[in-house]
Chains A and B, each alone.
Chain A
Amino acid sequence: MTALTAPLDRLRWTLTDGLTLVGRELARLRQEPGQIVAALLFPAVMVVLFGYVFGSAIRVPGGGDYREYLMPGLFAMVTFSAWLGVMTRTASDASRGVMDRFRSMPMARLAVPFGQTGADLLTGLLMLTVMVTAGLLVGWQPHRGLIPTTQAFLLMILLRYALSWVGVYVGLAVKNDQIADALVPLGLPFTMLSNAFVPTGGMPPWLRLLADWNPVSALTAATRELFGNPGAPSATAAWPLAHPVTTVLLWSATLLAIFVPLSLRAYTRQGR
């Protein structure tokens, strides 16, 4: 029997148990291959749908190809879907008693949230790969070389990880997979209300204010800048759009600082 006493031991078991739970998510996907196909097809469909349907009507400010303009927006959209998936899975574990079984076992306490967010990171990487492939096929490409391109992807991954902790917390808070499922459609308007698909310049002022300060816009602007894609913010743009990389880093740090401790506390205290 393992007595989780020494801190080093505890760290090792948190990692081992976390990896076991990442393996669980992968095994779940293996059981339902349709789900992977759907999850991977969705971004590819979005590329074609938005790229050609919207692309025929929208003019990019400052000129440039709409599909080049669109791809960073779709990357942002996929990034922001992270918390929804994690929330749904956490809520389902909490409502079905799987969480209680974990908590009645001599396993590392923190492994469950770390495992869940770690698994989401893998899913996210897979989805990004599909998106990149689809993007390259429709004519998108990064223009500024290896280092800025890498930075753009790291930025997306960082924000995705931070967002997945929001998902853990909300999932533990709602504790009911039906409520969690009902929250999922809220993700779309949140993404749409940004510069991801259309420039914010033409929106009425109040809506534009929301869109400019939406973190989705900041991530989109940041990756547009790092990929060298069209749609650079004008000189009069709101602060988050004028400094998109800093804004995304600030958002990530803030979300992690708030939601990691909140989630860990909610997990250990649940049901007490």
Chain B
Amino acid sequence: MPEPIVLAEGLRKSFGDTHALRGLDLTIPKGTICGVLGPNGAGKTTAVRILATLSDPDAGHARIAGYDVVRDAGQVRARIGLAGQYAAVDDKLTGRANLRMFARLSHLPRRQAHRRADELLERFGLTDAADRQVAGYSGGMRRRLDLITSLILRPQVLFLDEPTTGLDPRSRGEIWDNIRELVTDGTTVLLTTQYLDEADHLADDIAVVDHGHVIATGTPDQLKATIGDRLDVVLQDPDALNQAATVLKALTTTEPTTTGADRLSVALPGGSLKLADVVRELDRAEVAAADVRLRRPTLDEVFLRLTDRKQTVR
């Protein structure tokens, strides 16, 4: 098997008494999207900064396309793109001027730099806004410009640090489409996000990070399977809540969570329980259910379970 294009082993980094990374391992195969999920302060950004050569690890090592991020930083920089929270464009310039400048700084000859700028503006639908000052762009347009600036040199690996934080749903969807398109070109993407649905939609693999190390990895489906399906019950009469909880606990041997005045949710052990059994047991206890539904857990539930935050879910 060839070496994964992104390989990090035992990365550690502290800022004074704050241990941002405590032995982080990460591998990303070529041409895939890896979603790095974690609560604020989990170490996601620190990890990206190290992989993008902006910061040195205290211990451990990382390689991008076979090049060490500390020793061969120059080779790494020639193969990566960085966008999102921690990279930016010049507000005072136009979109086109920004792209041309960054293309020149990437050492493309002038004519080629101009052509590449036009090409990217065209492909990502910014041609109309190209000659306006970036300060007047909408949040979504700014992020898109930021994203395409990181594509000037056709990077092998693209680091996107929370690329859609603070965007409206429509702009978010557009950025998602852009990211998916990149992967069809063969780019490998490392995406950090706090939005679980973002990782669910985009990522081939997910690495859940908490307290500076990876606590779980897998495809979104694999991660969901680790905590089993969930059962949601909506009652006709809210007064029957306690009674329903007793029935569900007896069936699943798990304490159900109250998710509303008239509703409960409970994790199912294994896959043995049938919906019909639940309905029959509730009937027998004379609890009238308005709705009983079996579903896959959301990634939020997986995440909360894994990161051991409070168990109440939406």
Contacts and interface: CB of A to CB of B under 8 A. Distances in A.
Contacts of B104: 17, 20
B107 interface: yes
A107 B113 CA distance: 14
B40 interface: no
A100 B82 CA distance: 9
B265 to A, nearest CB: 41
Interface residues of A, number: 29
B74 interface: yes
A97 B107 contact: no
A171 B150 CA distance: 25
A96 B85 CA distance: 9
Contact of A31 (B54, B92, B150): B92
Interface string B55-87: 110000000000000000011011010100111
A4 B74 contact: yes
Interface in A88-132: 96-98, 100-107, 111
Contact of A28 (B53, B90, B149): B90
Contact of B106 (A3, A32, A98, A106): A106
B54 A24 contact: no
Contacts of A97: 85-88
B75 A3 contact: yes
B292 interface: no
Contact of B77 (A31, A105, A111): A105
Nearest to B106: A105
Contacts of B75: 3
Interface string A234-245: 000000000000
A262 B100 CA distance: 30
B74 A101 contact: no
Nearest to B50: A272
A213 interface: no
Interface string A3-24: 1100000000100110011011
Contacts of A104: 52-54, 77, 80, 82, 87
Nearest to A98: B88
Given A17-B105, A20-B105, A97-B87, A103 B54 contact: yes
Contacts of A4: 74
A31 B56 CA distance: 37
Interface of A: 1-4, 13, 16-17, 20-21, 23-24, 27-28, 31-32, 96-98, 100-107, 111, 271-272
